[in-house]
Amino acid sequence: MRYLNIRAGFFHTVALLAIFASSVAYAKTDKPNILVIWGDDVGMYNISAYHRGMMGGSTPNIDRIANEGAIFTDAYAQQSCTAGRASFILGQHPFRTGLLTIGMPGAKEGISEKDPTIAELLKNHGYMSGQFGKNHLGDQDQHLPTAHGFDEFFGNLYHLNAEEEPESEFYPKDPEFHKKFGPRGVLHS
């Protein structure tokens, strides 16, 4: 369990949100691959492609991707990771979707089936998609990325603290509580 939490923490730090690849392996296509790297608590200048030597830290692999692709210098961030992810994946302000606050294990709230995702829209153009790392858009199976157009998901559904809570001496020991409100750990779907 501890190993998975450390792994989940790594995914949180890097928070590689989505990797989009062409729809047919090895097929010739003019469509570009789309890679989005989404990080929680990562300032713009923590990536050396942005700070250009003005600050410490080096991210050569991300720099290479930025140099070979596109780099965005103007952005707006939401107040929570859930709101930010919802805004990007759904293309709507979080007030429209209700995904404003951080979801917790056992919560019934999550991404709605009526809101199309970027994965569903790209699928219509022949793309396959995957989401890896923290999702934070709902705890129920109907909220999983694979229920909303992503072809694969490997990650966890909430922040690292939620994953570690059952290890606390103060966490309720009742198995029924854990079954209903406990974190689900790292999932692959």
Q: Which of 93, 125, 136, 178 is catalytic?
A: 136
CA atoms within 13 Å, Cβ hemisphere of 68 = 10
Chain length of the chain: 189
Residue type, 74: D
Kindly provide the b/e burial profile for residues 1-12, where b requires at least 16 CB atoms within 10 angstroms of the residue's own CB: eeeebeebbebb
Distance CA 125, CA 119 (A): 10
Homologous superfamily of the 2-188 domain (CATH) = Alkaline Phosphatase, subunit A (3.40.720.10)
Task: Note whether 90 and 117 are within 8 A (CB).
Answer: yes
* Catalytic annotation present for 81: yes
* Catalytic annotation present for 159: no
Task: Note whether 8 and 163 are within 8 A (CB).
Answer: yes
Task: Note whether 102 and 94 are within 8 A (CB).
Answer: no
Distance CA 126, CA 21 (A): 9
pLDDT tens digits for the chain (189 residues)? Answer: 544 444 444 444 343 333 333 333 444 568 899 998 888 778 888 899 998 888 878 999 999 999 998 888 887 778 888 999 999 999 999 999 999 987 788 889 999 999 999 999 999 999 999 999 999 999 999 999 999 999 999 999 988 788 888 899 999 999 999 888 888 889 999
Distance CA 20, CA 142 (A): 22
Q: Which of 12, 81, 143, 159 is catalytic?
A: 81
Task: Note whether 118 and 88 are within 8 A (CB).
Answer: yes
